[in-house]
Amino acid sequence: MAEQQVVADLRENCATPASLLRDVAAAMADEMCAGLEKEGGSRVKMLLSYVDKLPTGREEGLFYGLDLGGTNFRVLKVQLGGNDKHVISRESRELAIPPHLMSGSSSV
- Per-residue pLDDT reduced to its tens digit, 3-37: 889 988 888 888 888 999 999 999 999 999 998 88
Q: Say if residue 41's pLDDT is above 90.
A: no
Distance CA 60, CA 88 (A): 10
- Specify whether 3 is located in the same domain as 42: yes
74 and 95 fall within a common domain: yes
41 plus 11 within the same structural domain? yes
Closest residue by Cα to residue 92 from 70, 107, 72:
72
Q: Do 33 and 73 sit in the same domain of this protein?
A: no
Give 64-104 pLDDT, tens digit per residue: 999 998 899 999 999 999 988 889 999 999 999 998 888 87
Residue 108 lies in a domain: no
Domain that holds residue 80: 56-99
Residue 44 DSSP symbol: S
Do 64 and 34 lie in one domain? The reply is no
Same domain, 6 and 24: yes
